[in-house]
Structure 1
């Protein structure tokens, strides 16, 4: 294939425009560097999306599509199965790999849960003997968490809970009715429940308007009140005049010569031609697994097993959060008077980890996210109404009728179901990995990933504890759980690996080049002008959502890149 080479040489080429890539672009362009972003998806502008579209204005009433598996109003285009971009699994493995193919990537999808990792999270092995410690401490990253708080904006409260660090917070919104009821039950059970910490601003910051509580954050935000890379990070970077973005650029490999990364090669998805761009520094931020794929596909005489992979660790120690959910019907919430309960697009309260693991049969912990209330009706709304009738046995076999009687049931049950979802920490294992499939390529001829992943007893026991706890909370509320407790044969209801979309760890950082890919500045041990600033650098995956730490680590790495380039060290 003829490769078209660009005559321009950039200071930095960034692959990916999400949390890590967007933050790197924001910081590096501010420092005066000439930056190129290559994004595999198309352009996206949140001001032109479906924030205020009514469900009845579309044929599917907001239902899912191939490109929007969370519904056609969800602002993230991509999914677990993308046409032309397959991946495979080893025998016995179930792994689902979600990719966002658009400007901003998965920052257009996530729930804006913005939790800092705590001091013990960076030294987990020292605490319980499992996995490995990070080469950095909370004290080292804390100043960057502070900077992210000030730049992006986050609401919450400082509670002083060990290993749940506070931050520089805006005032949180008031809890909704159903959240008050859950909190009352948890108070009686000795379970702490505190205001959520979400990157949705409740006061003006950096010329962005505060949230107006429409509750549609999953649709992106026309007022830029919630965080996404295209709303918060990329516009200031573009205003510097130092940023160029090329969309629909499917990167094939990182090019390499004489000990240095020299740029990247990519296929233009529109014309099918291959292009090569040159840069002094290459920053990978394509997501943990995609960045690992690029390194593994970037082979040379010096690196026959993939670029920067002398350790053989690239692709290994893959982690995703554990998860399970329980829903319950709460009689106290039935027949409620009409009221507006929208708020932000997420829970106003959450449960941080509160248990002492020394008294439990599993390691690490989980937090609990709440859902329910009287949100916007759309596709699938009240789909289980026949089951609600069965619970109260007033309409045998769930025959809710139609017409007037059906409408009466809707009014009766609207907002009466609450749910609790756990998000827990899994242990990092070398045998959980992604690798290059030797027999399959994607639409552009690029070898694809093959996944191998298994939950351990630690994760199964943790999820069993989630299920039991959530059912106790619903019982304390006087409610009825929807569905029986899943047994051991069903993994206690644990989600399939990859489905929580928190995959990290494939290019882990460490002090020893023999057992890690990156140093503590996200710089490759083997190639000093190559950096990885997505979740690939993680040594462990605490129960906290990874985005806030990706942003902080990317900001820290960008500061280091700027310093090293000024000193002509890279």
Structure 2
């Protein structure tokens, strides 16, 4: 097949346009480098009328907002992609139930996420020293703190400084006040001595620059904000960089097949398939930066085989794809009778997500699992859509009467119970293990002819024990709130409701960093040990996860790695 070569030689080619790729594009282009950003999905700008879903009514959707495979979080959600993308399969082995979410669009997953923006703490970088599990990072919190600070100021995050030792303070915008269901949660949690603090989320509650507007509390951040008040990589990193004179060429709808190398084994660029004409193209660059997401970047490296790299690019250690791990997750919800019959004459939508949360409070030395979790809270009176309602059978069981029906009765009951369900989710840390991995499936390719990933992943008893602790905690808090539980408490037979790995969409660790090239893929600057002009700026280099969402750390580490790239290019070291 003929391969079409682009004559331009870029200073840097960045694969992926999410948190890591977007930050790298901003840093490198504003430093004067000519940058190509290659994205597997289409161009996306939530300010463009044809891309807007914010503030639309459910009846404007032919499915009344119901989810589809293309938009698994609802028909108005900003994410294009999902766990099951037509023409882009992945496979599983030995009973694995790993679920791989991919968001194919400019800005990637950052268009729809909950924007929970937490720093990793000092213990999170050196947790082996605390409990003996996993490995320490080759860097410390002090190495990353200056970049966390810069990210806070550049992007904006609301919250409060609380002086918590492993939940570091930052530079915060004013947080929104708790809503009624969150006031109930605060009372219930504190009755059990579980702390509650204002959430730390990347939505602008006050003006920080002229490129972005301020949150107007529509509660629809998952739809991507047309005034750019919430953080997405396209609107907050790539577009401002272009506006400030950054040289960024966007290659959208382009699926990267591999990193190309020369006779010395150094990277010369990437090959990609254009999804529109199905032809293969080559881009040339001095540096290649992979920010395609932890598993996608591992896939690209493993598919980049050559005489110099027979095991895949950067894989002399045979560690690429290994140590894959995702956040743990379990959930519970209850009906709160005291929240019935609420007046709906006011707007309490708030920001798109929780206004308060509980960071990890437990003493693991007294528990049967080594790492913690935080609690996310949901509820309130956001815009209903298809399937929003309540479980009629559950309510009939509670009240011994018939709930629901048609017409006026249905409307009356919906208003009566609307906003009276509160739920909570635990999101915790799992242990990185070498035996959890992704690899290239030897017999399966996607519709573009690119070999796909095959997953091998199982939860350990530690994660299962952690999920049990979550369920016990949820039950205690919801009982304190006077709740009537929705459904039975998940038991041992279903791992206490522990979600399948990958379902929480926090996968990390596939190209882990370390000082020893025999046991890691990148060095502490996310530079391949084997090839000095290839860097990885997504969550792949994470040595371990934490009991926090990983996006803020991806952003900080990408900024750090990108500034290092600029410095090394100036010194002609790469």
Q: Which TM bucket (shorter chain)?
A: over 0.9
Q: Is the partner of 1:17 in helix, strand or coil? A: coil
User: Where do residues 303-322 of structure 1 align in structure 2 (5 Å cutoff)?
Assistant: 303-322=309-328
Matched, 1:190 2:193: yes
The answer to whether the 8 Å contact 2:163/2:169 transfers is yes
Q: In the TM superposition, what is the alpha-carbon distance from 1:66 to its structure 2 partner?
A: 2.5
The answer to whether the 8 Å contact 1:386/1:400 transfers is no
Matched, 1:439 2:443: yes
Alpha-carbon separation, structure 1, partners of 2:3 and 2:405: 65
Q: In the TM superposition, what is the alpha-carbon distance from 1:479 to its structure 2 partner?
A: 1.0
What is the aligned counterpart of 2:351 among 341, 344, 347? Answer: 344
User: Where do residues 87-106 of structure 1 align in structure 2 (5 Å cutoff)?
Assistant: 87-106=90-109
The answer to whether the 8 Å contact 2:404/2:414 transfers is no
Q: Which residue of 2 aligns with 1:18?
A: 18
TM-score (norm 2): 0.98
Structure 1 stretch 265-274 or stretch 63-72: which is displaced more? 63-72
Q: Which residue of 1 aligns with 2:58?
A: 55
Q: In the TM superposition, what is the alpha-carbon distance from 1:412 to its structure 2 partner?
A: 1.2
Q: Which residue of 2 aligns with 1:301?
A: 307
Matched, 1:244 2:249: yes
Q: In the TM superposition, what is the alpha-carbon distance from 1:195 to its structure 2 partner?
A: 0.2
The answer to whether the 8 Å contact 1:75/1:220 transfers is yes
Q: Is the partner of 1:213 in helix, strand or coil? A: coil
Alpha-carbon separation, structure 2, partners of 1:289 and 1:475: 40
Q: Deviation digits for residues 68-112 of structure 1, max 9, x if unmatched?
A: 111111001001111110100002111110000000110112100
The answer to whether the 8 Å contact 1:389/1:400 transfers is no
Q: In the TM superposition, what is the alpha-carbon distance from 1:247 to its structure 2 partner?
A: 0.5
The answer to whether the 8 Å contact 1:151/1:206 transfers is no
Q: In the TM superposition, what is the alpha-carbon distance from 1:506 to its structure 2 partner?
A: 0.1
The answer to whether the 8 Å contact 2:438/2:456 transfers is yes
Q: Which residue of 2 aligns with 1:467?
A: 471
Q: In the TM superposition, what is the alpha-carbon distance from 1:383 to its structure 2 partner?
A: 4.1
The answer to whether the 8 Å contact 2:394/2:487 transfers is no
User: Where do residues 406-555 of structure 1 align in structure 2 (5 Å cutoff)?
Assistant: 406-555=410-559
Q: In the TM superposition, what is the alpha-carbon distance from 1:241 to its structure 2 partner?
A: 4.3
Alpha-carbon separation, structure 1, partners of 2:433 and 2:139: 20
- Superposition RMSD in Å: 0.9
Q: Which residue of 1 aligns with 2:235?
A: 231
The answer to whether the 8 Å contact 1:186/1:192 transfers is yes
Q: Which residue of 1 aligns with 2:171?
A: 168
The answer to whether the 8 Å contact 1:238/1:244 transfers is no
Q: In the TM superposition, what is the alpha-carbon distance from 1:341 to its structure 2 partner?
A: 1.3
Q: Is the partner of 1:410 in helix, strand or coil? A: helix
Alpha-carbon separation, structure 1, partners of 2:338 and 2:165: 34
Q: Which residue of 2 aligns with 1:107?
A: 110
Q: Which residue of 2 aligns with 1:253?
A: 258
Matched, 1:372 2:379: yes
Q: Which residue of 1 aligns with 2:183?
A: 180
Alpha-carbon separation, structure 2, partners of 1:176 and 1:182: 10
What is the aligned counterpart of 2:331 among 325, 341, 346? Answer: 325
Q: Is the partner of 1:507 in helix, strand or coil? A: coil
The answer to whether the 8 Å contact 2:258/2:270 transfers is yes
Q: Is the partner of 2:88 in helix, strand or coil? A: coil
Alpha-carbon separation, structure 2, partners of 1:29 and 1:403: 58
Matched, 1:268 2:274: yes
The answer to whether the 8 Å contact 2:26/2:246 transfers is no
Q: Is the partner of 1:536 in helix, strand or coil? A: coil
Q: Tell me: CA distance 1:530–1:509, structure 2 relative to 1, closer, same or farther (3 Å).
A: same
What is the aligned counterpart of 2:400 among 393, 401, 418? Answer: 393
Q: Is the partner of 2:566 in helix, strand or coil? A: helix
Q: In the TM superposition, what is the alpha-carbon distance from 1:401 to its structure 2 partner?
A: 2.9
The answer to whether the 8 Å contact 2:323/2:434 transfers is yes
Alpha-carbon separation, structure 2, partners of 1:140 and 1:401: 60
The answer to whether the 8 Å contact 2:265/2:309 transfers is no
User: Where do residues 37-186 of structure 1 align in structure 2 (5 Å cutoff)?
Assistant: 37-48=37-48, 49-186=52-189
Q: In the TM superposition, what is the alpha-carbon distance from 1:406 to its structure 2 partner?
A: 2.0
Q: Deviation digits for residues 440-497 of structure 1, max 9, x if unmatched?
A: 0011111000000000000000000000100110101111111111111111100011
Q: Deviation digits for residues 225-263 of structure 1, max 9, x if unmatched?
A: 000011100112222141100101110000011131110
The answer to whether the 8 Å contact 1:76/1:106 transfers is yes
Q: Deviation digits for residues 413-443 of structure 1, max 9, x if unmatched?
A: 0100000100010000000000000000011
Alpha-carbon separation, structure 2, partners of 1:546 and 1:29: 24
Q: Is the partner of 1:94 in helix, strand or coil? A: coil
Q: Which residue of 2 aligns with 1:356?
A: 363
Matched, 1:215 2:219: yes
Structure 1 stretch 406-415 or stretch 268-277: which is displaced more? 406-415
